[in-house]
């Protein structure tokens, strides 16, 4: 999976460094602008040296607090629902910071006679402490939420791939049962069309075995597959069923998920043949301007409640699910039954 530029580790480190530099450079700039009374050069250098040491010490303390809270305290206490331990740890950290600040003040006093007090510590550090703590908590929680969303998305994608593979695997056996029945019918008739039919069947099986593993195939290959299937059915029924076929692809290269259209055609032959007067099946496909329009209509007998086999509903149910998973709002599917005609109309935005 291709990573976004901000997902690389070195980018994250660089952003953290830049943020810390910008945040903690402000006091140093304020110190430089504040001392504009031009004191003695030696005294100014001494004050600058002392301020730098104090500044570096404080920066290291706050940075340590930020990452300790984000990567240790929150996962260990907040996520495990131990708020009391979390508060105790924060009090301990405050004591440690107090000791460090007292040590820095003793080593580098801002004025010769200045005295250190708890009130001074509270006034200069409590607000900063709470600010760093809040930023650290927000940072960790946002980061964890992003990571959880990423994992959930990956899991969803894997589940979708698994489900699509399962649905596709159900289509192939269903289709093979129908085609083999066609072969049996031709063999019983000792038809001369058996050999070319077997050749067509072998090409269909080659497509199913070697092409359908791809996520998408050229639309022309899917059309060849449909045409071969229709030819086999036409050989089987002959003049008993009037079949009209129009498959057109305009200019441009279009791709489609394999085995996506065949269930509609299978359904038409399954329910549009048999004890039906003047049986007729019309199939049209047109791809133009990134829009695929596909319609299949067949006559059916409203009075007949016959269920032809146990797998009658597999094809349409699966293809509806596949269309929903693959195209979502980028497709429209209409199924209508009226006046002894069953109509399937599918439109897909292939852009």
Say what the pLDDT of residue 348 is: 94
Residue 290, C-beta contacts closer than 8 angstroms, at least 6 positions apart: 252, 254, 349, 350, 351
Write out the two tokens for 227: 């045409």
* Burial of 186 (C-beta count, 10 Å sphere; 0-12/13-18/19+): buried
CB crowding 313-336: b at 16 or more within 10 Å, else e: ebbbebbeebbeebbeeeeebeee
Domains of the chain: 5-116 (no CATH), 161-349 (3.30.565.10)
Q: What value does the CA radius of gyration of the chain take, rounded to a whole number of Å?
A: 37
Say what the pLDDT of residue 40 is: 46
Write out the two tokens for 223: 């059309």
Per the CB < 8 A criterion, the answer to whether 60 and 54 are in contact is no
Say what the pLDDT of residue 246 is: 94
Say what the pLDDT of residue 47 is: 55
Query: Residue 13 half-sphere exposure, CB side, CA atoms within 13 Å?
Result: 3
Per the CB < 8 A criterion, the answer to whether 197 and 235 are in contact is yes
Say what the pLDDT of residue 341 is: 92
- Enter the DSSP assignment of 133: H
Per the CB < 8 A criterion, the answer to whether 254 and 287 are in contact is yes
Q: Name which of 97, 87, 86 is nearest 128 in CA terms.
A: 97
Mean pLDDT, the chain cut into blocks of 10 residues (351 residues total): 56 72 63 47 52 68 86 87 89 85 71 64 76 87 84 70 60 64 79 81 78 80 88 82 91 85 87 85 93 94 58 66 85 91 93 74
Write out the two tokens for 172: 């192939």
Say what the pLDDT of residue 173 is: 62
* Burial of 308 (C-beta count, 10 Å sphere; 0-12/13-18/19+): exposed
Say what the pLDDT of residue 37 is: 47
Q: Phi/psi class of residue 171: alpha, beta or left (left: φ > 0; alpha: ψ in -120 to 50)?
A: alpha
Q: How far is CA 256 from CA 40, 167, 205, 287, 295, in A?
A: 80, 16, 18, 11, 16
Residue 55, C-beta contacts closer than 8 angstroms, at least 6 positions apart: 24, 27, 28, 31
- Enter the DSSP assignment of 125: I
Give the three-class secondary structure for 255.
strand
H helix or E strand, kind and range, residue 322: helix 314-327
How far is 31 from 23, CA to CA, in rounded Å?
14
Global pTM? Answer: 0.54
């Amino acid at each position: 999976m291709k990573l976004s530029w901000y997902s690389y580790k070195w980018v994250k480190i660089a952003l953290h460094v830049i943020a810390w530099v910008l945040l903690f450079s402000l006091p140093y700039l304020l110190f430089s602008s504040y001392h504009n009374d031009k004191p003695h050069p030696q005294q100014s250098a001494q004050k600058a040296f002392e301020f730098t040491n104090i500044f570096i010490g404080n920066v290291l303390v706050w940075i340590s607090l930020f990452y300790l809270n984000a990567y240790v305290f929150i996962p260990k206490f907040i996520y495990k629902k131990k708020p009391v331990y979390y508060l105790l740890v924060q009090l301990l950290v405050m004591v440690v910071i107090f000791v460090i600040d007292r040590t820095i003040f003793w080593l580098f006093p801002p004025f010769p006679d200045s005295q250190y007090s708890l009130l001074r510590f509270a006034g200069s550090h409590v607000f900063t402490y709470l600010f760093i703590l809040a930023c650290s908590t927000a940072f960790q929680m946002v980061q964890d939420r992003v990571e959880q969303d990423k994992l959930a998305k990956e899991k969803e994608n894997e589940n979708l791939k698994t489900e699509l593979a399962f649905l596709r695997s159900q289509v192939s056996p269903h289709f093979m049962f129908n085609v083999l029945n066609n072969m049996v019918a031709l063999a019983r008739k000792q038809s001369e069309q058996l050999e070319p039919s077997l050749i067509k069947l072998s090409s269909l099986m080659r497509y199913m075995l070697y092409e359908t593993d791809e996520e998408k195939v050229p639309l022309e290959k899917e059309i060849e597959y449909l045409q071969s299937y229709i030819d086999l059915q036409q050989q089987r029924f002959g003049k008993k069923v009037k079949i009209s076929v129009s498959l057109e692809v305009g200019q441009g290269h279009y791709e489609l998920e394999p085995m996506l259209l065949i269930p509609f055609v299978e359904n038409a032959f399954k329910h549009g043949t048999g004890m039906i007067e003047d049986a007729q099946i019309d199939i049209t496909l047109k791809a133009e301007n990134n829009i695929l329009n596909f319609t299949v209509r067949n006559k059916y007998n409203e009075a007949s409640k016959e269920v032809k086999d146990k797998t009658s509903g597999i094809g349409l149910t699966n293809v509806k699910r596949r269309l929903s998973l693959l195209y979502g709002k980028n497709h429209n599917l209409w199924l209508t039954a009226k006046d002894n005609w069953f109509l399937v109309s599918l439109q897909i935005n292939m852009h």
